Amino acid sequence: MEVDIEVKADALEGAFDAVLAAEAVDELKASVSALKAQLDAQAVAAGRLPLDGAKAADPARDAFVERYLRRGIDAGVEMKSLSGASAAEGGYAVPREIDGSIASTLKSLSPIRRIATVVQTGTSGYRKLVATGATEAGWVGETAARPETDTRSFAEIAPPSGELYANPAASQAMLDDAMFDVEAWLADEIGREFAVAEGTAFVGGNGTNRPKGFLSYTATNEADAVRDFGELQYIASGAAGAFAASNPQDKLVDLVHSLRAPYRQGACWVMNSDTLARIRKFKTSDGAFIWQPGLVEGQAASLLGYPVVEAEDMPALAADSLSIAFGNFRAGYLVADRGETRILRDPFSNKPFVHFYATKRVGGAIIDSNAIKLMKFAAS
């Protein structure tokens, strides 16, 4: 009888041990699952994009902003030297994040850059080959001779360029203030100053140490088929320094259709706000305005179905002025940016202010003179 009791007791004790072991295994599995979930959460958090307003860690940007811009410590900052005697004479390369902010400001504030073709170049000697004329073909019989046809000729475009510079200043007290966002301030200041200078050059620059503006090219009333390459065609407004007294909108229609159909896809108007104010008052014979506002916020207004770009650098109405441009600027005008923006910190010239001398090489030129048309405010 005692043997039976001992056997039963041993079996019961073994059952308890098995239950405890199973519970231990379950607890271990739960701990492992919790640890795995925690590691997965950390991995997701590490791969997640920064919250709005937060900046991902970038050693190059941090060294540039916190060390060089704020305190003038140039260790660890990429140099762009132009002189062997002074390592920093060429300034310091702006990190891509700040350079991208400057480029965004330029695109939003410089109207011609926004509608033209923009290329990044690694040399100031940028060249582009443009085909001129048209290929010819012919009809022949089955056994007739095939005379040689003319081939297209090419013109080389070398956009004139110059060094664009800006020189904003901040006090050292502002730079010492940790709450002062020197990165955003500098990108905005440089971008705005660059945009103002660019806007003037892309419209009327003479090509000497700066881009050549599209209004600096020879303008003639000859059509595309007979006009020399590099010359722009103009349509006369019908009156010196003004629109024609009757049906002034007719000349705008003539200007639109002087541009060949392939170019009209993507074409736009360019004029200053004073000229646009005059055109907005034009009406058709049934009393409808030819100017139409954008239907949604941010959409450009349209004139005869084409968007209007306001460029204050376009000349005001005067005798023989070229105050309105219409064309496909993406096909007709090229902006060439060479390299990144460079900055040289100058705390000595105007104490207690610190100047940031920023430079960038920019070029510009017409690449297709058939893609842009002008209105000349003259009788003929």
> How much is the pLDDT for 65?
79
> How much is the pLDDT for 51?
42
> How much is the pLDDT for 34?
59
> How much is the pLDDT for 25?
58
> How much is the pLDDT for 167?
92
C-alpha 20 chain-centroid distance: 69
C-alpha 367 chain-centroid distance: 18
pLDDT tens, per residue, the chain with 380 residues = 544 545 455 555 555 565 555 666 566 666 656 566 555 555 444 444 444 444 445 666 677 777 778 877 766 555 443 333 334 444 566 677 677 788 888 888 899 999 999 998 877 667 777 767 666 677 888 888 888 777 667 777 888 999 999 999 999 888 888 788 888 898 899 999 999 999 999 999 999 999 999 999 999 999 998 999 899 999 999 999 999 988 899 999 999 999 999 999 999 999 999 999 999 999 888 878 888 877 666 677 899 999 999 999 999 999 999 999 999 999 999 999 987 788 888 999 888 899 999 998 999 999 999 999 999 999 98
Question: Which amino acid belongs to residue 243?
Answer: F
> How much is the pLDDT for 341?
85
What residue ranges define each of the domains in the chain, with the CATH number in brackets? 59-132+152-210+335-366 (3.30.2400.10), 214-333+368-376 (3.30.2320)
Residue 289 has what DSSP assignment? B
Per the listing, tokens 């990144």 go with 340
The DSSP secondary structure of 160-197, one letter per residue, reads: -EEEEEE--EEEHHHHH-TTS-HHHHHHHHHHHHHHHH
> How much is the pLDDT for 53?
45
Contact 342, 333 (CB under 8 A): no
pTM assigned to the model = 0.74
Query: How far apart are the C-alpha atoms of 58 and 301, rounded to whole Å?
Result: 41
Query: How far apart are the C-alpha atoms of 324 and 238, rounded to whole Å?
Result: 14
Give the residue among 338, 281, 278, 363 at the shortest CA–CA distance from 314.
Answer: 278
> How much is the pLDDT for 293?
79
> How much is the pLDDT for 373?
98
